[in-house]
Every structure is written in structure tokens, then in C-alpha cells.
């Protein structure tokens, strides 16, 4: 790979060639090396390690039945606990290698970013390493593409990823399978970087599948409990449905324009015909892939269950990076989506429906991680609406800020769960360490986590000047602006004029923002405020996490506050000169500028007054949500989990997630099982394959054998007859021919 | 001339074949096989009269082989008779499948 000559696509001399950007291949190779080292240590530990992970898991599984995600956290109990398991013998090495490779990768990414910022390349920097699939006219290289869009993703992945890796050291150090955990996590980062660096759809697809695999491995990390293993399987199977869509989109692209690399597709996309049924179909299939990976309706069902994995995994994979791959794919394919207003509107509509759906479910969840899981689904909609209405910059902007504050929220919840688990472990209690009804008043014991999570809550609710405010507001503003004069507004979607639809989406967006503020405040109130419901004995054991966990939280907190500075809107900088405006928009302009212009063609810039009113409305709604939640919710009167009564009526329906899982169980899973059992198993497998083909061929051979054995009479006379008759037949055949 | 010779040898050969097919006694079958060989030898001789002497060389070969075969074959028949007290081929079917 090293010896291959770099081929620059746009011109022979690309501004980035000869700079540190040549080392882009090292970005994914570093985590891959970490994967290999940690994986080998894990294997070595499994053979020679001091502890038997299975035995340790079984020992505690009874006590932790209600808290699958942190079933093994109790090994984190320090001090005099007699059940404390010895750390993995290689845990010291793993603690250095695992986060180390990520930090190195991040530093390299910073260097490349520096080079790119000074070179300001107009075209993508493409490095081709070897020819991967030369088939007929199709030539697919194992090639990496470095442009402003992938740069943003790389910085988020390696930066937030490194912080989460460091957090993981504190969170997972006492797990018997510590090296295995880090090998999976490193492998995930490797595939995620391949996904964002790939210069064509097949390479992207390799990363796409790879992150799915790592997601599966990490959700089912504590596979000793069936629920966790099932959650992993669910995520994997649901994602396969989406991947099918992405594959079909790739096949259609190849069948119609014959190329699959981004530069080629981008150049030939117009040949497909703007607004044609073909390009719409391709985009919709591609979007099916995105709904799977990014947990949108109809394929969102795996994400809440994915919270069964360790909490840092939820932060990294199921909040900050992997689930945003769909947004990245649409932004990357902006040259396709901008050609199809119908597909773009579909993206926005599906996102909006998902948002309101997930946000209402989030209102009634008690598991702290489930709240955050539904919140992620609901937040992804902003990104999808952003890229759906052609505001690719805003979508990516929200992706970045969301990575900051949602990673902070998840890691904060990890800190809470860590404390809760340690406390319950000390008293050998079987209570649920993730249920908010067992928390309350934690701000006294976890002051740092509490403050940081409040910052993240304000950011996600869209309170200025936190990062979420800018990104969220920009998306809502784009939706509003696109409703007049853009290609989307003049298109119709299922008979509804695009303009009307965009106003509806805008209204849904405000509603979702309101709900977000409510459920996030609810989570914070029940977790950190009011009386402590943990239990008198356990209260003594509650304590703040070690610095290796709070450190990354603080960094993320700073980012969550100041992330908005990446792309300050003009309307804000005009009033308050906070800093340079629209940095990200300028940065991404070479990649998505053309597609954005194609959609906004003719759309008049909304007057500043309108924009200010829109911002005002958004802020008022967010504040209203927080105030309402504070006024209505009474953490003082909340019963503990074991005293709780089930909700009734509509609340019950929401608490049961609209019975979607049950519905899918009835309509898809059970019929599938029934058909499999009664038809596929008994008829096809037992009847046709076993009965006809396997046993049938055996019977056929036996039958021929029986006939042959009848011929062997042992009587020479009979053989002589055969001989003579045979000779006569041969002679006759030759004579009469 | 050739036609008559070939007709004779064909007749002899067919007699031999029929003998092999319908008889049960190993000695008689053996003799019928010898008859077939002789018929073939006659054919060679008849052809050699018209097409050169190569046929007569073959005849010598065939007679040599049939002499050897007769020795082995008779030895086998004697061995079978000693063992089973019969040379009726109907009773000898050890290889029945």
C-alpha cells in the first residue's frame, strides 16, 4: 500500500499532494493496529488470564438481572468488596493502546486539517491504493477521498472517539473482557473512518457493513445475558434491511451510469435527469439504507434496544458517530438528492414523523439510557430534515454539535450508572441502577456530572448560546426559508404541495423541540434533583467518578457550549459580534455548495426580521418546555421503581412505545416463525431438501445398486448371455447405422 | 472362394457360441470355446491366402495362447471338481450378488 503511487483525480498536482495529507491511510490503520493488539491480548488473556470471565458473569447475573447494560460494572466496585474480580492481566497495556491509537489518529487528523485549511483545495484529494474490483468496464479502486466533508467527519470521529475511549478506561477497566472491549471499539473506529474516507460507494459500503458488525459485537458485549445478545441480533438484522436498500441503489447507479466513485457519479448524475423517476428511486433506496443505519422510521426499532451495550458504546456508536452515517451518506450524495425534490421531501417527512414519534416515547421512559436513545432518534431527524431540505451544511453542523452534547449526555449517564451500580453492589441490592425512579438527588453526590449534563441538556433543548441552539435553529430556519421559491416548494409529495409540507415540517420541528426540552428536563429533574430514592444504605456509597471519566466529560462540556461557534449565523453576528460567521458553511462549500444552490435556486433570502422572529419563537418554545417540565413534574412525589404503578390510557400506550415492538412481533416476527416452522422447516427442509434431495438421492443409488446386484447371478452362463447379447447389439448398431 | 471359407468359419463360430450358451457342463463349454478359437483361426488362414501371410502368424499366436489357456482352464475345472464334486456350472454361483 505504501509503495503505490498516489493518483490525484482532479489534476496531476493537487494542492494537498506532498503534504501531510498523503498520510491519510494511517488514519484508519492506527485503530486497526489497536484492534489487532487488543484482540491478541484478549485471546492471550482468554487462554492464560487469571480470571474466568464466564464464571464471573454467572456469579453476578442474578443480582443484575434488571440492569443488563451494566451487569458487569459491579466489578468496578473498589475497596474491600470480597467479590471484586482481579483486573485483566493485560489491562495496563490495553489502557494505553486502546485510547492511544485514537489520540494519535486525532493528532494526525488535526495535522491534515491544518494542511487542508491552508491549501483550501477546491476538489477532493483522492488517494488510490490498489485496484480492488476491475470487472469489465467497472473499475473500483481501494481509494480514499479527502475533502472538507470527510474532514469534518474525521475530526468528529477521532476527536469525540478519543474522548470516549479515555472515558472507557475508567468505565470498563474492571471488566474481565476489557481487551476484547477495546479491540471492538478500535475496530469500530477503523470501519467508521473507512466509511467516511471511501472514495466510492463500495468502499463506503465496506465501512458501512463494518460499523454494523462492530455495533452488533458491542451491543451484545455482555452476551452472557440473552437480552443483550438478542438486542445485538435485532440491530444486525434490522440494519441488513437497510443495507439491502443501499446495495440496490448502488446496483441501479452502476446499471444506469456505470460508475460508482463519488467524483464520477457527481459528474454524471445530471444524466439521470433532474426529478426523474429513476433518480428518485435511487435516492429512496439509498434513504432506506440511511433509515436502517440512522434509526429512522420504519427501521428505528433497533436503537433503543442497542442501549444494552456498555454506555460508552452508546455514546460513541449509537449517538455520536455510526448513527450519523446516514446523514453523512445523504450529504455525500447531495449531487443525487438535490436532483430529486420528491426524495428530499421524503427524507424530511420521514425525519419529522420519526422525531415526533420518538420524542413522545422519550417522555415516558424510565431507563435513563432509553430516554437518551429515543432522544437520539429524535435528534437525528434534525440532521435528516437539514440534509433533506438541501441545507447540507446545517445538517452536518447539527451532526457535529449533536456529537458533542449527546456524547456528553451518554457519558454523563454512564457516570451516573457507574455510581449507582457501585452503590447497589456494595449493599448487594438487586435494584435497577439505570431506572430514574431509583435515582433522584444525585447532584449532591455527582456535582460535576450534574453541571455538565445540565449544559448538555440546555444545548440539546436549543437554549442560546449553547451549541444546539445554533445548529437546531439553522435547520428550522432553512426549512422555513425553503418553503418559498426552492425546487422543493414547487414539487408535490403524494399530492401535497411541497411548500405546505415544509411549513408542516417546520411546525413539527417546533413541537419536537418543545418535547425535547420537556423530556430532557424531566430526565435531569428525576436524576439529579429532589430526594434521593436510591436507599439509605446505598447513599453512603454514591460518589463522583474518577478523573479519567470526568476529564472527557469536561472537554465535551466545553465543546457543547462553544460548538455553535463553528457556524455562527449571520443574523446573530449582525446583532452580537460573537466571532466569524458561517465558518462551516464556507468550509463545506466546495463539496455541497453546488447541490445547495440547485435546491435553493430562486429562493429569496428571508428578511432578517423574519429570521429573528423564527429564532425568538424557537427559543421561547424551548424555554417553555423547560419551564413546563419544572412546574409540572414533582420529583419529590415520585415512587421508587418497586412501588411504581403502571400507566394507563394514552400514557400507557406511550410508555409501551406505541406497542410498535409488540406489533412487529405479531405481524412480522411471529408469522415469520410460523411460516419457518410449518412450511420452511417441515415442508422445504424436512420434505424437499432432506426428504427428496438427500434421502432421495440415497434411495436412488440404493435402487440402482439393487438392480445391479440382481444382475450378478454368479452363473457364468448368464454372463455369457449378456456378453453375446451385448456384442450382437453393438454389431447391429454399427451395421444398421 | 473366400466367401465360402468365411461362411464355414462363421458357422463354426456360431455353433461354438450356441454351445457355450446352452450347455451346463464346464468341459463341453470349454470345448465350445476351443471351437470358437478354431473358427477364428480358420478365418485368419482364409484371409491370409488372399491378403498376405500375417494371418498365419496370428494363428500361431492364437494356438499358443489357447494351448496355455487349455492347460489353465482344465486345471481349474479339475480343482473345482475336487472341491465340489461337480462341474455343472449351474451349481457354481459363489459370486452371486
Residue A222, phi then psi, degrees to nearest 5? -95, 70
**What are the sequence ranges of the domains in chain A?**
1-50+86-199, 404-645, 661-736
Using DSSP, state whether A718 is helix, strand or coil.
helix
By the CB < 8 Å criterion, does A724 face chain B?
yes
Beta strands in A656-716 (DSSP E): none
CA distance A147 to A116: 8
By the CB < 8 Å criterion, does A706 face chain B?
no
Judge: B95–A714 Cβ closer than 8 Å, yes or no.
yes
CA distance A546 to A10: 50
Query: Mutating which of A715, A719, A723, A728 best tests the B interface, going by the most B Cβ atoms within 10 A?
Result: A715
Q: How many CA atoms lie within 13 A of A529 on its CB side?
A: 16
Residues of B within 8 A of A705 (CB-CB) are none
**What are the sequence ranges of the domains in chain B?**
2-90
Find the residue in B nearest to A707 (Cα): B97
**CA distance readout (Å), A522 to A29, A447, A530, A635:** 43, 18, 12, 9
Q: Which residue do the cell numbers 469525540 mark?
A: A160
Report the candidate in A369, A520, A531, A518 with the shortest Cα–Cα distance to residue A439.
A531
Report the candidate in A223, A377, A344, A311 with the shortest Cα–Cα distance to residue A595.
A344
Instruction: Tell me how crowded residue A65 is: count the other CB atoms within 10 A of its CB.
Output: 13
A-facing residues of B in 3-32 (CB < 8 A) are 17, 20-21, 24, 29
Query: B57 vs chain A: nearest CA distance in angstroms?
Result: 26
User: What cell numbers appear for A541 in the block?
Assistant: 456509597
pLDDT at A77: 39
Tell me how many degrees the CA angle A257-A260-A265 measures, rounded to the nearest 5: 60
pLDDT at B39: 95
Judge: B17–A724 Cβ closer than 8 Å, yes or no.
yes
* DSSP 8-class letter at B97: -
Residue A547, phi then psi, degrees to nearest 5? -60, -30
Within A173-294, where are the H helices?
178-197, 201-219, 226-257, 262-268, 277-293
Does the pTM surpass 0.90? The reply is no
By the CB < 8 Å criterion, does B92 face chain A?
yes
Judge: B95–A712 Cβ closer than 8 Å, yes or no.
yes
CA distance B41 to B65: 12
* Residues with pLDDT less than 50, chain A: 1-11, 49-84
pLDDT at A7: 43
Report the candidate in A110, A558, A512, A156 with the shortest Cα–Cα distance to residue A317.
A156
Chains A–B, number of C-beta pairs less than 8 Å apart: 33
pLDDT at B97: 67
What string of DSSP letters covers B57-86? HHHHHHHHHHHHHHHHHHHHHHHHHHHHS-
**CA distance readout (Å), A187 to A26, A36, A176, A478, A733:** 14, 9, 19, 37, 71
By the CB < 8 Å criterion, does B96 face chain A?
yes
**Which residue of B20, B24, B93 is in closest CB contact with A714?**
B93
Query: B94 vs chain A: nearest CA distance in angstroms?
Result: 6
Residue-wise pLDDT tens digits, B34-92: 999 999 999 999 999 888 888 899 999 999 999 999 999 999 999 999 998 998 888 88
pLDDT at A177: 86
CA distance A25 to A611: 43
pLDDT at A347: 87
Judge: A713–B93 Cβ closer than 8 Å, yes or no.
yes
Q: Which ipTM value was assigned to this complex?
A: 0.89
Q: How many CA atoms lie within 13 A of A362 on its CB side?
A: 30
**CA distance readout (Å), A673 to A125, A305, A679:** 49, 21, 10
Judge: B93–A715 Cβ closer than 8 Å, yes or no.
yes
CA distance A375 to A453: 14
Judge: B97–A721 Cβ closer than 8 Å, yes or no.
no
- CATH architecture designation of domain B2-90: Orthogonal Bundle (1.10)
In chain A the first and final C-alpha atoms are separated, in Å, by: 66
Amino acid at each position: 500500500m505504501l509503495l503505490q503511487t498516489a493518483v490525484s483525480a482532479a489534476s496531476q498536482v493537487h494542492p494537498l499532494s506532498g503534504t501531510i495529507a498523503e498520510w491519510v491511510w494511517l488514519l484508519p490503520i492506527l485503530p486497526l493496529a489497536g484492534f489487532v493488539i487488543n484482540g491478541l491480548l484478549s485471546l492471550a488473556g482468554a487462554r492464560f488470564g487469571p480470571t474466568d470471565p464466564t464464571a464471573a458473569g454467572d456469579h453476578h447475573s442474578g443480582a443484575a438481572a434488571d440492569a443488563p447494560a451494566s451487569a458487569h460494572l459491579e466489578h468496578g466496585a473498589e475497596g474491600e468488596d470480597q467479590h471484586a474480580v482481579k483486573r485483566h492481566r493485560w489491562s495496563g497495556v490495553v489502557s494505553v493502546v486502546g485510547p492511544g491509537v485514537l489520540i494519535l489518529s486525532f493528532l494526525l487528523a488535526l495535522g491534515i486539517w491544518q494542511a487542508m485549511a491552508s491549501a483550501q483545495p477546491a476538489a477532493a484529494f483522492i488517494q488510490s491504493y490498489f485496484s480492488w474490483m476491475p470487472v469489465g468496464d467497472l473499475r473500483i479502486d481501494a481509494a480514499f477521498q479527502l475533502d472538507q466533508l470527510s474532514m469534518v467527519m474525521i475530526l468528529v470521529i477521532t476527536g469525540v472517539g478519543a474522548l470516549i475511549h479515555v472515558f472507557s478506561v475508567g468505565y470498563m477497566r474492571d471488566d474481565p473482557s476489557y481487551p476484547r472491549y477495546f479491540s471492538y471499539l478500535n475496530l469500530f473506529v477503523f470501519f467508521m473512518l473507512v466509511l467516511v474516507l471511501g472514495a466510492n460507494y463500495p468502499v463506503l459500503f465496506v465501512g458501512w457493513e463494518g460499523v454494523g458488525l462492530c455495533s452488533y459485537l458491542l451491543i451484545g458485549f455482555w452476551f452472557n445475558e440473552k437480552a443483550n445478545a438478542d438486542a445485538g441480533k435485532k440491530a444486525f438484522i434490522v440494519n441488513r434491511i437497510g443495507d439491502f436498500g443501499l446495495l440496490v441503489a448502488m446496483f441501479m447507479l452502476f446499471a444506469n451510469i456505470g460508475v460508482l466513485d463519488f467524483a464520477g457519479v457527481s459528474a454524471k448524475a445530471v444524466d439521470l435527469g433532474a426529478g426523474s423517476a429513476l433518480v428518485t428511486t435511487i435516492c429512496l433506496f439509498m434513504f432506506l439504507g440511511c433509515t436502517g443505519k440512522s434509526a429512522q422510521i420504519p427501521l428505528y426499532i433497533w436503537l433503543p434496544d442497542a442501549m444494552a451495550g456498555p454506555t460508552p458504546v452508546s455514546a460513541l456508536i449509537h449517538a455520536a458517530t455510526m448513527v450519523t452515517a446516514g446523514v453523512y451518506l445523504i450529504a455525500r450524495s447531495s449531487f443525487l438528492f438535490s436532483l430529486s425534490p420528491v426524495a428530499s421531501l421524503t427524507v424530511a417527512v420521514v425525519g419529522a414523523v420519526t422525531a415526533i414519534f420518538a420524542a413522545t416515547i422519550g417522555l415516558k421512559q424510565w431507563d435513563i439510557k432509553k430516554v437518551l436513545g429515543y432522544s437520539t432518534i429524535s435528534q437525528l431527524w434534525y440532521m435528516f430534515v437539514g440534509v433533506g431540505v438541501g441545507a447540507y451544511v446545517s445538517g452536518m453542523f447539527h451532526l457535529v454539535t449533536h456529537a458533542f452534547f449527546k456524547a456528553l449526555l451518554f457519558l454523563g449517564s454512564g457516570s451516573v450508572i457507574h455510581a449507582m451500580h457501585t452503590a447497589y453492589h456494595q449493599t448487594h441490592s438487586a435494584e435497577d441502577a439505570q431506572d430514574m425512579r431509583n435515582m433522584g438527588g444525585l447532584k449532591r453526590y455527582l456535582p460535576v456530572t450534574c453541571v455538565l449534563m445540565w449544559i448538555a441538556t440546555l444545548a440539546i433543548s436549543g437554549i442560546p448560546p449553547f451549541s444546539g441552539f445554533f445548529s437546531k435553529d439553522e435547520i428550522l430556519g432553512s426549512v422555513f426559508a425553503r418553503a418559498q421559491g426552492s425546487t422543493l416548494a414547487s414539487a408535490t409529495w403524494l399530492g401535497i404541495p411541497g411548500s405546505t409540507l415544509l411549513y408542516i415540517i417546520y411546525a413539527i420541528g417546533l413541537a419536537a423541540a418543545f418535547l425535547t426540552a420537556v423530556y430532557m428536563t424531566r430526565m435531569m429533574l428525576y436524576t439529579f434533583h429532589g430526594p434521593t430514592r436510591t436507599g439509605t444504605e446505598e447513599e453512603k456509597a454514591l460518589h463522583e467518578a474518577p478523573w479519567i471519566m470526568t476529564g472527557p466529560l469536561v472537554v465535551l462540556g466545553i465543546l457543547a457550549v462553544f460548538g455553535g461557534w463553528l457556524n455562527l449565523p449571520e443574523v446573530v453576528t449582525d446583532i452580537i459580534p460573537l466571532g466569524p460567521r458561517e465558518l462551516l458553511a464556507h468550509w463545506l462549500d466546495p463539496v455541497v455548495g453546488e447541490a445547495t444552490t440547485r435546491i435553493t435556486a430562486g429562493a429569496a433570502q428571508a428578511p432578517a426580521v423574519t429570521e429573528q422572529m423564527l429564532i425568538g419563537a424557537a427559543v421561547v418554545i424551548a424555554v417553555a418546555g423547560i419551564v413546563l417540565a419544572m412546574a409540572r413534574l414533582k420529583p419529590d412525589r415520585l415512587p421508587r421503581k418497586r412501588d411504581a404503578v403502571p400507566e394507563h390510557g394514552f400514557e400507557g400506550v406511550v410508555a409501551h412505545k406505541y406497542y410498535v415492538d409488540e406489533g412487529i412481533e405479531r405481524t412480522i416476527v411471529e408469522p415469520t416463525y410460523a411460516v419457518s416452522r410449518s412450511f420452511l422447516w417441515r415442508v422445504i427442509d424436512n420434505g424437499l431438501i432432506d426428504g427428496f434431495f438427500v434421502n432421495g438421492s440415497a434411495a436412488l443409488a440404493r435402487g440402482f445398486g439393487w438392480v445391479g446386484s440382481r444382475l450378478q447371478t454368479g452363473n457364468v452362463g448368464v454372463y455369457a448371455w449378456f456378453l453375446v447379447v451385448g456384442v450382437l447389439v453393438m454389431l447391429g448398431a454399427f451395421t444398421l447405422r | 472362394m473366400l466367401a465360402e471359407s468365411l461362411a464355414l468359419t462363421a458357422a463354426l463360430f456360431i455353433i461354438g457360441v450356441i454351445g457355450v450358451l446352452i450347455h451346463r457342463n464346464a468341459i463341453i463349454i470349454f470345448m465350445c470355446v476351443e471351437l470358437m478359437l478354431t473358427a477364428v483361426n480358420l478365418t485368419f488362414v482364409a484371409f491370409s491366402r488372399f491378403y498376405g501371410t500375417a494371418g498365419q502368424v496370428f494363428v500361431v499366436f492364437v494356438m499358443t495362447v489357447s494351448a496355455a489357456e487349455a492347460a489353465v482352464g482344465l486345471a481349474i475345472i479339475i480343482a473345482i471338481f475336487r472341491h465340489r464334486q461337480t462341474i455343472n456350472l449351474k451349481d457354481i454361483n459363489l459370486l452371486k450378488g
